[in-house]
Structure 1
Amino acid sequence: MEQEMKADSDLDPDPDPKPGRSLTPSAPPGRLDDHEWLVQGRGTKPLPPPLDPVGEPGEQRSRPPFMQHSVPLMTEAAARRALLRFVASRCCYGSRAAGELAVQRLRQLGTYRYRLETFSESRLSEWAFEPFTKPGAAGPPGDAPLDPWDVEVGPPPLFQGQTRRCRVPGSALVRDCHRCHGHGRSKCGVCHGAGRTRCVTCKGSRRRLKQQKRCQLCSGTGRKRCNTCSGRGSKTCATCRGEKKLQHFKQLVIRWRNNVFEFVSEHHLNFPRELLSKVSGENIFKDENVVVYPIIDFPDPEISLASQRAVAEHSAAFATSSRILRQRQTIELIPITEVHCQYSGKPYLYYIYGLENEVRALDYPERCCCGCTVV
């Protein structure tokens, strides 16, 4: 028995450019709500979900019925075509054996794959800042910011992972830039505020080495104007970009994840289970709702036990740290055909699996090293 819990990677880019984040004790926003965790260096603050869920499962509803199903019939011609396609995809497999082997028996089998998907939403709160460029746009102080879970953000399509960032309305506060202390400029780190640096040609000796002549680059002074700050001794503050003030605000980091539990029933074949997760099967059961109920009466008891375990594990893992938006459980019948054949008087066995008719062929009788020609 196998099980796997996984989550979609948050691959979607943020819709808005990220402002700078104040994550160090050197830049406390001052008198902002809940900034103690920021000063202590934790950076982000997890937000437990509200007690009231998005939707209620309600009273026990009728579950979708199990669909009538049977293993799709595999013919000798289809089995040979699948093997020829597999051989053509391998650079060192010859096609003669696939065309000449004699099929003796097709053993049609099947296995069940159960999958539970839990689409969840979690939120983190963090302080962020940006240069304050619109003095007239500052709102009146005293407005209480919204509860982070009351900020409405449209979710992505169901069962698709994504990450977004957005501001909490009413949480902005303007302060002097903590880096330049409200001056808009900071001391140059190359000349340390002097505006001049040691000449690189004479190394400050005022004369060229071995020539005892006055250095022409620095006119014999031993120092030259700093290229970094153009001789001013300071440069525009990189934090506030010369605006002298920063606008601090609460930012939500909202993550939608599709958490997956997968189980494949026992099939008693010399066949790796991980291959079955890469193919599709015939869908014989689908149940989708805010919360789904465990399956208790499936003909294969392993599937019923897997469903009960999956629902319990997902509820324990995600209900307290995130908000469950939707659940979906499915059962698929994955066809597997065991092909018994003979080639050059010797028995040979290969498998065809999935609706895509993928092939697993161990010890194929006509192989060579890459680059060699098969006779």
Structure 2
Amino acid sequence: MDLSDQDEAPGEPDLQPVASYDAGLFTNAPAVATAPPADVMPTVPGYEGFGGEGSAIPPPYEETYQEEGQARSRHWEIPAITKELAQEVFIEYASRKCCYSVKPAKEMVFTDLQSLDTYRYCLETFTESRSTEWATEPYHGQVVNADNGMAPEPWDMAVPVPPLFQDCKTEVRIPHTSSVKGCHSCLHLGRSACYTCMTSGRSQCVMCGGTGRNFSNERCLTCGGTGRVLCISCGGMGSRVCSTCQGRGKLLWFLKLKIKWKNNIHKNVVDKCSGFPIDRLEKVTGENLFTDMNQLVNPVVSFPDNAVNAASREAVRAHQAQFSTTCRILQQRQTIELIPVTRVHYSWKEKTHIYFVYGAEHKVYTKDYPVKCCCCSIL
């Protein structure tokens, strides 16, 4: 987007960054001792209704759907892993466990391999939200152009969009909203009372604790026996430079636009009721079967597994209901992955056991490995 299209008054840049934003704090903003009283808030035409501060509801926009969210027919199943691979990864798994014996993995007898390929549905909704807030900075002669034009409304300001589906936030100054006011923290004086010495300019001597005598009951050489020393916080002046206005006595007020881009993610794994803990699938990859991206996507309707169609239908409905009125939906993307899960049945010393091989990484999960040391058994 071209930022030069915005109306710009001389001396006040259109999209002037405020300050770097990190975890909700301005990293280079002066500390403000007290919040300004409401009656000193400037009045900005077009922002009277909510005092200039608050979330900005996005205007209605034309919704663009794709024709249909269909997953084309194809062969969806991945062949089950071989016995050789299943045993190889099982031996490697046991060898990495310091308390496991590899004998069961090497001597086991396969009784069954069951392919339990699992589908993972994911919907991403990339949204943009905007809000406005008053901000101040010390006034040192900056040009003030509040009366030279109408301030644009929050959603009328053109701001470059970051890469899609990545969380990001920024703040910019809204043009034609600045004005100069006396500093409310120091009452326009540029200095505030020093609370270390309570405006006296002298504080208690730390060497003698204010007694004037040292541990040998002799006169303290640091304070000369007075028990008081020059206050290091204010240099003996009894007041300090105001941290809000940095000694200027005046503040430049302006409205800042806070913009937040967020990738809202909904995931659903279709459980095969296999006894495998599906939370372990979060850190493995599978084969991407279907990708659909548009400003607003339609639910998937033709996937062979109806549970996936239902998951898509519910996710799309919930996201559009949740975000369409509070922020602007910029893009949506839905994907379906096939995650291979194989349940292996085997016997060792006339007892049967089960383990799982899952994900493209061929990870192993089991909760009843035959031979563990005593400490592992206790744990």
Amino acid at match of 1:194: S
Write the distance in 1 (CA, Å) between the matches of 2:33 and 2:124. Answer: 35
Root-mean-square deviation (CA, aligned residues, Å) is 3.2
Write the distance in 1 (CA, Å) between the matches of 2:266 and 2:346. Answer: 37
Q: Which moved more, 1:332-341 or 1:216-225?
A: 216-225
Write the distance in 1 (CA, Å) between the matches of 2:258 and 2:276. Answer: 43
Q: Check whether the contact 1:132–1:243 (CA below 8 A) recurs between aligned residues.
A: yes
Give 3-state SS (helix, strand or coil) of 1:338's partner.
strand
Q: Check whether the contact 1:22–1:129 (CA below 8 A) recurs between aligned residues.
A: no
Shift in alpha-carbon separation, 1:238–1:207, aligned structure 2, 3 A? same
Residue 31 of structure 1 corresponds to 42
Q: Check whether the contact 1:289–1:326 (CA below 8 A) recurs between aligned residues.
A: yes
Residue 60 of structure 1 corresponds to 67
Write the distance in 2 (CA, Å) between the matches of 1:69 and 1:207. Answer: 88
Write the distance in 2 (CA, Å) between the matches of 1:250 and 1:15. Answer: 16
Residue 49 of structure 1 corresponds to 58
Q: What does residue range 280-359 of structure 1 map to in structure 2 within 5 Å?
A: 280-359=285-364
Residue 260 of structure 1 corresponds to 265
Q: What TM-score results when the alignment is normalised by the length of structure 1?
A: 0.82
Write the distance in 1 (CA, Å) between the matches of 2:299 and 2:142. Answer: 57
Q: CA deviation at 1:25?
A: 4.8
Shift in alpha-carbon separation, 1:370–1:91, aligned structure 2, 3 A? farther
Write the distance in 2 (CA, Å) between the matches of 1:209 and 1:338. Answer: 78
Q: Check whether the contact 1:119–1:158 (CA below 8 A) recurs between aligned residues.
A: yes
Once the two structures are superposed, residues 36-60 of structure 1 have per-residue CA deviations (whole angstroms, 9 ceiling, x without a partner) of 967xxxx96111112125xx31573
Q: CA deviation at 1:167?
A: 1.9
Once the two structures are superposed, residues 316-339 of structure 1 have per-residue CA deviations (whole angstroms, 9 ceiling, x without a partner) of 111111110111111122211111
Residue 7 of structure 1 corresponds to none
Write the distance in 2 (CA, Å) between the matches of 1:279 and 1:59. Answer: 30
Q: Check whether the contact 1:112–1:265 (CA below 8 A) recurs between aligned residues.
A: yes
Residue 102 of structure 1 corresponds to 109
Q: Check whether the contact 1:110–1:336 (CA below 8 A) recurs between aligned residues.
A: yes
Q: Check whether the contact 1:186–1:236 (CA below 8 A) recurs between aligned residues.
A: yes
Write the distance in 1 (CA, Å) between the matches of 2:277 and 2:215. Answer: 74
Alignment equivalent of 2:189, drawn from 183, 193, 197: 183
Q: What does residue range 76-95 of structure 1 map to in structure 2 within 5 Å?
A: 76-95=83-102
Give 3-state SS (helix, strand or coil) of 2:91's partner.
helix
Alignment equivalent of 1:160, drawn from 163, 166, 186: 166
Shift in alpha-carbon separation, 1:79–1:182, aligned structure 2, 3 A? same
Q: How many residues align?
A: 354
Q: Check whether the contact 1:115–1:331 (CA below 8 A) recurs between aligned residues.
A: yes
Q: CA deviation at 1:301?
A: 1.6
Write the distance in 2 (CA, Å) between the matches of 1:16 and 1:26. Answer: 17
Amino acid at match of 1:196: R
Write the distance in 2 (CA, Å) between the matches of 1:255 and 1:305. Answer: 31
Gaps in structure 1 of 5+ consecutive residues: 1-10
Q: Check whether the contact 1:21–1:129 (CA below 8 A) recurs between aligned residues.
A: no
Q: What TM-score results when the alignment is normalised by the length of structure 2?
A: 0.82
Residue 175 of structure 2 corresponds to 169
Shift in alpha-carbon separation, 1:288–1:66, aligned structure 2, 3 A? farther
Shift in alpha-carbon separation, 1:183–1:61, aligned structure 2, 3 A? same
Write the distance in 2 (CA, Å) between the matches of 1:21 and 1:228. Answer: 16
Q: CA deviation at 1:118?
A: 0.8
Residue 145 of structure 1 corresponds to 151
Give 3-state SS (helix, strand or coil) of 2:89's partner.
helix
Amino acid at match of 2:145: G
Q: Check whether the contact 1:66–1:284 (CA below 8 A) recurs between aligned residues.
A: no
Does residue 71 of structure 1 match 2:78? yes
Q: CA deviation at 1:273?
A: 2.1
Write the distance in 1 (CA, Å) between the matches of 2:307 and 2:94. Answer: 35
Percent of counterpart pairs with the same letter? Answer: 38
Q: CA deviation at 1:277?
A: 2.9
Amino acid at match of 1:241: Q
Write the distance in 2 (CA, Å) between the matches of 1:180 and 1:36. Answer: 30
Q: CA deviation at 1:96?
A: 2.4
Residue 242 of structure 1 corresponds to 247
Q: Check whether the contact 1:158–1:326 (CA below 8 A) recurs between aligned residues.
A: yes
Q: CA deviation at 1:75?
A: 0.7
